[in-house]
Structure 1
Amino acid sequence: MIPVTASIALDERDLEERFIRASGPGGQNVNKVSTAVELRFRLNGYTDMPDDVRARLKRLAGRRLTLEGEIVIRAEEHRTQDRNRSEALARLVALVEQATHRPKPRVKTKVPKAAKQKRLDSKSRRSDVKSKRGRVRDHD
């Protein structure tokens, strides 16, 4: 079990790691050694978490969520497999921890009548200025 919060821990049976070759610079090392890590976390697996946290996690995962319900995290910043593994796991834990925070509900506020009136007065003043800008007509 990998602890996230006091009440939520990730079950290791839901995690799957694949080691792949990293892209980018690195010389011969990048062509020979599979240092990049692709960490897959099954969202509907053994891990016990509240439904609202699971729903927020789905939303936060965005395009990292597959159609099979797995969150895929790829780490290839470091030159060693071990550091990339810990980086990917840390990112997953941070994502789950972020999903545990319940967003504060938005409270609708009403625009005061005085503010509405002020806006309408300013619009009519501007309208008057523009309407008086026309061509000057000769009165014969």
Structure 2
Amino acid sequence: MKDFSKELNFKTSRSSGAGGQNVNKVETAVTVLWNVGASEFFNEDEKALIESKLKNRINSEGLLFLTVSESRTQLMNKNKAIEKIIEIVNKALIIPKKRLATKPSKGQKQKRLDTKKKISDKKESRRFKF
């Protein structure tokens, strides 16, 4: 897990929604911006992986951005934004294992067929016969 928080830039704004006077006068919402292409913490392959997996969060200038306005204080929102962006990027760096196709064994096939036959016989015995 890489901590690239030194490369992050922050912008503050007023939070939206209800909240009374605090919302109207205090800039508590925090937007964190990170330039993926200019990062020194990641190599070119990792940058390409991040850009491909997070392309819907990266704008045309190559900035990954995230806005947090969960808390009433700017400092808590800033800390949450750092945690979230690090978590998002680290998840993007995980390469899933390729699935190996497998087949059921002969024993499993036979067990399935035997179970089907038992159920079929049970239902057949319930039928009314003339």
* Structures share fold, TM-score greater than 0.5: yes
Q: How does 1:67-106 map to 2 (within 5 A)?
A: 68=60, 69-106=62-99
* CA–CA distance in structure 1, aligned partners of residues 46 and 124 of structure 2: 56
Please say if residues 57 and 95 of structure 1, whose CA atoms lie closer than 8 Å, have aligned partners that are also in contact.
no
C-alpha displacement of 1:122 = 0.8
Distance 1:110 1:124, change over 3 A: same
**CA shift at 1:23, angstroms?**
3.1
Equivalenced residue count is 127
Q: Which 4+ runs in 1 deviate beyond 6 A?
A: none
CA-to-aligned-CA distance 1:4-58 (integer Å, 9 cap, x gap): 63xx74673xx44332221345320111122101223333x20142425642575
| Alignment TM-score, normalising by the size of structure 1 | 0.67
In the TM superposition, what is the alpha-carbon distance from 1:131 to its structure 2 partner?
A: 2.5
Which consecutive unaligned segments of at least 5 residues does structure 1 have? none
Backbone CA RMSD of aligned residues: 3.1
**Greater RCO, 1 or 2 (C-alpha within 8 Å, sep 6+):** 2
Q: Which residue of 6, 12, 16 corresponds with 1:23?
A: 16
Choose which of 29, 46, 71 in structure 1 pairs with 2:38. 46
Normalising by structure 2, we get a TM-score of 0.71
Gaps of 5+ in 2: none
Is contact 1:37-1:76 (8 Å) kept? yes
1:133 aligns with: 126
